[in-house]
Amino acid sequence: MDAFNAALQFTLAYEGGYVNDPADPGGATNKGVTQATYTAYRRSKGQGRRDVRFISREEVCAIYRERYWDACRCSLMPAPLAAVVFDTAVNGGPGRGIQFLQEALGYLQVDNAWGPATEERLAEVIREGKAGKVALKIADRRFRWRYGIVATRPLSAKFLKGWLNRDRALKALVQKLIAS
């Protein structure tokens, strides 16, 4: 299985079916894709609006590849790092995935955007054999991020246990990928 499909398999295991929970600021979501993201995707393909309830598996895969995997340049990363950056992007947006990567890479201005400095620093870390350490830093960073969300948006506390379970499973996946 290629790195994208392995990461996608992990992510989809934690992104359920259709939900529209008032406590979730993302609004209506299906398989982790918000209505807003789905509408923008369909518009970019010259298609009309359709309720996210009816998103197809093919559309989910295309959205995840184009708007998260490719947006965060995950194909440039070893599997452990790609998996954690991708899942972070899906869960918090591509800017957050890049932000957490930039923070973990160090020596960068954190601007939540992919650029030459990010790419150069990533290449350096990979050459040094430190991509696994960076992946684990991001996995650990996610725990602090979750508690920060709950601190600023207390209604989100109902999601905390599930988020932390996902983060623990992601860290375990990263450790397994590093060891293989």
Task: Write down the pLDDT at residue 16.
Answer: 84
> Which pLDDT belongs to residue 157?
95
Question: pLDDT tens for residues 58-109?
Answer: 999 999 999 999 999 999 999 999 999 999 999 999 999 999 999 999 978 8
Q: What angle do CA 57, 8, 125 make, to 5 degrees?
A: 150
- The residues, ordered by sequence, that sit 6+ positions from 143 with a Cβ below 8 Å of its Cβ are 164, 167
Q: What is the pLDDT of residues 26-63, one digit of tens each?
A: 899 999 999 999 999 999 999 999 999 999 999 999 99
**Contact indicator for 29, 52 with CB cutoff of 8 Å:** yes
Rounded distance between C-alpha atoms, residue 55 and residue 52, angstroms: 5
What tokens were used for 103? Answer: 């923070």
CB 163 within 8 A of CB 153: no
What was the pLDDT predicted at 77?
97
Residues whose CB is less than 8 angstroms from the CB of residue 71 and which lie 6 or more positions away in sequence, other chains included:
89, 94, 97, 114
Output the pLDDT for position 45.
Answer: 96
Report whether pLDDT(1) > 80.
Answer: no
Superfamily assignment of 3-179 in CATH?
Answer: Chitosanase, subunit A, domain 1 (1.20.141.10)
Q: What phi and psi values does residue 67 have, to the nearest 5 degrees?
A: -95, -10
E-strand stretches of 6-101: 29-30, 33-34
Tokens 């960073």 -> residue:
141
pLDDT value of position 150: 96
pLDDT at residue number 180:
87
Q: Is the separation of the CB atoms in 99 and 113 below 8 Å?
A: no
pLDDT in tens, 114-169: 999 999 999 999 999 999 999 999 999 999 999 999 999 999 999 999 999 999 99
